[in-house]
Amino acid sequence: MSRYRGPKLRVTRKLGNLPGLTQKRSNKLKTPGEHGKKFEEKKSTEYGTRLEEKQKLKFNYGLTEKQLFSYVKEARRRQGVTGLVLLQLLEMRLDTICFNLGFGNTIAQARQLVNHGHITVNGTSIDIPSFQCRINDQISVKNTKTSIDLLKENIKKNQKFELPSYLKFDGEKLEGKVLGYCEREDVLLQLEELKVIEYYSRR
């Protein structure tokens, strides 16, 4: 299944605020569809709740179903609380870190910057959005006028949130540094990650 490229506000009306997908808010008070209900009227089964939490994670980080399942399997293999480990894996993706540093207004915009070769990790140009960054990695802009001008313009527009505690950013050098793994409170997405693990528990 390919990555979602449809209407973003339709998704946020169904799932709630997804900061990695879009910063825009819909004025409509009902969920999408002909028989849409107001958010407070929504009823769901236990399975439906788990599915909804899984969908939040998938749409917020711009993942395919196959990619998300791979991250869940990797989180299970690692030591620690599986739900938190899953979030740490997703937050250490290069496109997510670029988004958190303010390089893009959404994770999709940050992913495009990486794809187009504007971002370097430890001085090496990386064009793979899913690249897993490590502690002490230096994330910077490629040393070309086009890349620098683009990043400066984006940062002016996009640094709306307080920088997560596991990241450090030098505005003069346009350089970020990974200080450690994220804590649960660093994640902008409102999510019950345990329900995502439960959703995949039988797979």
Examine the pLDDT at 151 and tell me if it is beyond 50: yes
Do 170 and 195 belong together in one domain?
Answer: no
Same domain, 20 and 84: yes
- Domain of residue 80, CATH code: 1.10.1050.10
**Statement to judge: residues 103 and 174 lie in one domain:** yes
- The pLDDT value recorded for residue 8 is 73
Give the range of the structural domain holding residue 84, as residue numbers without chain letter: 8-89+188-199
Please indicate, yes or no, whether residues 98 and 176 belong to a single structural domain of this protein: yes
Strands of the sheet containing 167-170, edge to edge, are: 124-125, 119-121, 138-141, 175-178, 167-170
Task: Output b/e per residue, 116-126; b: 16+ Cβ within 10 A.
Answer: eebbbbeeeeb
Examine the domain organization and report whether 80 and 41 are in the same domain.
yes
Q: Is residue 3 part of a domain?
A: no
Structural domains counted in the chain: 2
For helices 107-115 and 145-158, angle between their N-to-C axes, nearest 10 degrees: 170
The pTM assigned to this predicted structure is 0.86
104, 45: one domain: no
User: What's residue 45's pLDDT?
Assistant: 87
Tell me if 74 is assigned to some domain.
yes
Same domain, 97 and 175: yes
Domain match, 68 and 29 both: yes
Say yes or no to pLDDT of 36 above 80: no
Averaged over 138-157, what is the pLDDT? 91
Residue 1 belongs to some domain of the structure: no
Torsion, CA 57, CA 58, CA 60, CA 64, rounded to 10: 150
